[in-house]
């Protein structure tokens, strides 16, 4: 490619993709059902609900949490998650009252696919990638998360085949909830580190 | 390379623009691009380091003016044609044919055996971790300095972290060196470390309070400090 056709309308890309796709299908390197099945995997089976199960399990089972922080890959595999996009190693970093972790990939868009699915657009765009390492507090403020200066911010710039996920703090007011309900509170953004997990809305 | 992809610490991109209830894919062509890349990587038509470097070789204005899946597609198209897996003239002819009849659907062709292989590969993941066992030179707590180097090819040492002091946080194991693997020079596995850098070390007086950055860096990026 190499041309400066950033202002080309989308059909231009669509056409090129269709052309290459059809040639690969003819060569037996791709097929219609490969496309359908892979799309279905990432639309339905692999997403932040997987990471949420890992987090909720760690909240209710201290021994599991210990294993998760010691060897993320193995502990996540215990729940059946792993595979492409997880790099070769998963590391889970824990948020506490004094440490807040944030994940980014400044060079491309590495992201822990097996536990969070495909990344949201903002994670892949220049604004987040450029700023997360330089002014993480300012970025977090834009996400609605103001942290006191006494909380250390650790930014994990994923530059190798190691993928990072944040273990958020268990929210107050959720003591009575079971594991499945807890998992329902855990958001994608909390596992990237741009949000906290908030407790259930108080019943009125 | 000191490319436009190396965004860490750049300024001027504005606020982080978020989309509420964002769908997994925004258009059907993005789905095709995802599948093409997984299929190509799995069948070893290219490796992931060549793929990332293919994105880095995009024209800077094109890179900044396009999104994730267009980056992917630019690299896929470039690598497959450069490697002769797809003939450039065939591709141009197919584009012209589709442009002439844009409404005509592509014929459907299924391949259950290929699909099964792809799903297996998605479950199995990649293989950059090596069984090779060169002894790591550094241990957790060691002070190191990143090399001040500007290679024209692929590297995973971002510009903002070059020539800076840090502390080894942990040894990850031995991993394929992207700088070699992206350029057809084999895997050349090396020890890989998580290295901690204080915000003030990287950003000087502009650093925010209480802030550190961790990078995963190969041994040849580092020297003792």
B213:A155 CB<8 A = yes
Mean pLDDT of B1-18: 97
Beta-carbon contacts of B127 under 8 Å, excluding residues fewer than 6 positions away, are: A88
Q: How confident is the model at residue A82, as a pLDDT?
A: 83
- Summarised one tens digit per residue, pLDDT across range B111-144 is 999 999 999 888 876 666 777 777 899 999 999 9
Q: Are B14 and B165 in contact (CB under 8 A)?
A: no
Token digits of residue A109: 């868009």
The torsion angles phi and psi of B127, rounded to 5 degrees, stand at -145, 55
- Summarised one tens digit per residue, pLDDT across range B70-98 is 999 999 999 999 999 999 999 999 999 99
Residue of B54, B216, B22, B113 lying closest to A117 (CA atoms): B22
Mean pLDDT of B165-182: 97
- Summarised one tens digit per residue, pLDDT across range A76-117 is 999 998 876 666 799 999 999 999 999 999 999 999 999 999
Fold classification of B143-224 is SH3 type barrels. (2.30.30)
Chains A–B, number of C-beta pairs less than 8 Å apart = 295
Token digits of residue A48: 């932040």
Q: How confident is the model at residue B105, as a pLDDT?
A: 84
* Paired residues of A162 in beta bridges: A89
Quick one: angle between helices B28-42 and A32-40, nearest 10?
A: 100
B176:A161 CB<8 A = yes
B194 CB neighbours in chain A (<8 A) are: 91, 162
Residue A110 designated active-site: yes
Residue A7 designated active-site: no
Q: Are A165 and A119 in contact (CB under 8 A)?
A: no
Residue A6 designated active-site: no
Give the residue carrying structure tokens 């699915």: A117
Q: Is residue A44 within 8 angstroms of chain B, CB to CB?
A: no
Q: How many CA atoms lie within 13 A of A12 on its CB side?
A: 11
Q: How confident is the model at residue B120, as a pLDDT?
A: 87
B9:A21 CB<8 A = no
What domains lie within chain A, and their CATH numbers? Answer: 10-44 (no CATH), 47-192 (3.90.330.10)
Domains of chain B, by residue range, sit at: 28-124, 143-224
Is the ipTM beyond the 0.90 threshold? Answer: yes
Q: Are A108 and A87 in contact (CB under 8 A)?
A: no
pTM: 0.95
The torsion angles phi and psi of A49, rounded to 5 degrees, stand at -65, -25
Fold classification of B28-124 is Cyclin A; domain 1 (1.10.472)
- Summarised one tens digit per residue, pLDDT across range A47-86 is 999 999 999 999 999 999 999 999 999 999 999 988 766 6
Stated as kind and residue range, the H or E segment containing B216 is: strand B211-218
Q: Where are the beta strands (DSSP E) in B152-189?
A: 165-175
- Summarised one tens digit per residue, pLDDT across range B180-197 is 999 999 999 999 999 999
Residue A2 and residue B129: Cα distance in Å, rounded? 33
A107:B5 CB<8 A = yes
């Amino acid at each position: 490619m190499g041309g400066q056709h950033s202002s080309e309308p989308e059909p231009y890309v669509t056409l090129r993709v269709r052309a290459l796709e059809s040639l690969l299908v003819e060569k037996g390197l791709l097929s219609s059902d490969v496309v359908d099945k892979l799309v279905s995997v990432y639309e339905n089976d692999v997403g932040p609900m997987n990471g949420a199960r890992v987090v909720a399990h760690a909240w209710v089972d201290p021994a599991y949490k210990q294993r998760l922080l010691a060897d993320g890959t193995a502990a996540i595999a215990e729940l059946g998650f792993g595979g492409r996009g997880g790099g070769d190693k998963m590391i889970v970093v824990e948020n506490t009252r004094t440490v807040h972790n944030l994940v980014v990939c400044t060079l491309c868009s590495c992201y822990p696919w097996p536990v969070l699915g495909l990344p949201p657009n903002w994670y892949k765009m220049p604004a987040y990638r450029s700023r997360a390492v330089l002014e993480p507090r300012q970025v977090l403020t834009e996400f609605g998360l103001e942290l006191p200066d006494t909380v250390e911010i650790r930014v994990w710039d994923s530059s190798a085949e190691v993928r990072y996920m944040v273990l958020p703090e268990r929210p107050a007011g959720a003591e009575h909830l079971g594991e499945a309900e807890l998992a329902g509170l855990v958001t994608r953004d909390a596992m990237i580190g741009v949000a906290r997990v908030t407790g259930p809305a108080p019943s009125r | 390379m000191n490319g436009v992809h190396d965004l860490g610490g750049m300024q001027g991109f504005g606020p982080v623009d978020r989309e509420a209830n964002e769908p997994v894919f925004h258009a059907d062509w993005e789905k095709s691009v995802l599948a093409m890349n997984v299929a190509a990587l799995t069948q070893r038509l290219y490796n992931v380091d060549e793929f990332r470097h293919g994105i880095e070789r995009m024209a800077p204005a094109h890179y900044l003016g396009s999104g994730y899946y267009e980056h992917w597609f630019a690299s896929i198209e470039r690598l497959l044609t450069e490697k002769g897996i797809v003939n450039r003239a065939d591709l141009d002819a197919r584009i012209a044919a589709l442009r002439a009849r844009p409404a005509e659907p592509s014929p459907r062709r299924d391949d259950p055996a290929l699909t099964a292989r792809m799903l297996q590969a998605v479950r199995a993941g990649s293989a950059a971790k090596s069984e090779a066992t060169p002894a790591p030179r550094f241990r957790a707590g060691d002070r190191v300095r990143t090399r001040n180097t500007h290679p024209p090819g692929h590297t995973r040492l971002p510009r903002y972290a070059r020539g800076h002091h840090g502390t080894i946080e942990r040894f990850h194991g031995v991993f394929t060196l992207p700088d070699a693997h992206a350029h057809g020079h084999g895997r050349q596995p090396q020890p890989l470390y998580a290295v901690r850098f204080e915000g003030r070390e990287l950003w000087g007086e502009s650093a925010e309070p209480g802030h550190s950055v961790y990078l995963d860096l190969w041994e040849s990026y580092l020297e003792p400090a």
